[in-house]
Amino acid sequence: MAEQENFLSDLTGSFSSPCAENPTVAVMEAAYQHQGIPARYINCDVGKAQLEQAVAGAKAMGWRGFNCSIPNKQAIIEYIDELGTSAKVIGAVNCVIIRDGKLTGENTDGKGFVEALSEQIDIKGKTLALLGAGGAARAIAVESALAGAKEITIINRDKQKGQELVDLINDNTEAKATFTPWTPGLRIDPLPDILVNATSVGLDDANAIPDIETESLESSLFVADVIPNPPQTALLRKAADKGCRTLNGLNMLVNQGALNLTYWFDKEADKEPMRKVLQKLFTG
């Protein structure tokens, strides 16, 4: 007798608004197909007003878990039963795992970045300068500190927001954090070991570049950008021209997808199909 076909898929997805341009669905479905995991990933346009109902629906339908993005990364905490260490410190969740009706919140933004960075440079004992103090910067700062970064400088226009992140690092990790106001044409001085653009400057714009004095960059500096599209931002191109080693945002997205799969299905992810999908989407 032929083996009976199973048409019931495990469900995963994303709750955010807007969501139409979120490429995670392509990344995750490529991974599921490659690894023979009978699952689907669904982008759902869910804002804060619909979040409670969306969470209840995911639990009722037996979802394995879901991602959260703007505007739900902090709002989702109200509906979480347990927070992972970094999510608790960061104060934001972008990956929710559902087990027996219980929700656990993790934050993979910083983890994905630090994992990608660590493939090229050992972060332990290093000094970092972060451009920005938003959600991505918070996650990267916390995870970098937890991974052993010695000193972290937060560069931001909004002093209150920047100082809040400095206090968060100093109060919850062993790293030493300081604040530098972001003034027009800022000179990065003294040079850190690693400079990270954690802002949205450069997203979908190959010519946009953070307002810093790029002539102050030296070849000893490692420059990273969280922007995945275009992969080679104007900042990274300028840094490369100065002899700096660089890191784009593609591997950060790949690592986040791999962490999703591991959290939801307790399997080690094969990153190659994820990487291929993103390269095709962003570089053609």
Catalytic amino acids? 73
d(CA 256, CA 275): 11
What separation in angstroms does the CA of 228 have from each of 39, 248, 251, 261? 25, 6, 8, 20
* Residue in 223, 231, 224, 241 with CA at minimum distance from that of residue 203: 231
Nearest to 239 by CA among 252, 253, 266, 221: 221
Distance of alpha carbon 152 from alpha carbon 193, whole angstroms: 10
Which two tokens mark 110?
A: 């910083």
C-alpha 282, offset from chain centre: 17
CA distance 68 to 41: 13
Are 85 and 34 spatial neighbours (Cβ–Cβ below 8 Å)? Answer: no
Specify the 3-state DSSP secondary structure of 184: coil
Tell me how far the alpha carbon of residue 227 is from its chain's centroid.
Answer: 10
Say which DSSP state 9 is in.
P
CA distance linking residue 48 with residue 73, whole number of Å: 10
What pairing do the DSSP bridges indicate for beta strands 127-131 and 194-197? parallel
Instruction: Say which residue the tokens 């010519």 belong to.
Output: 207
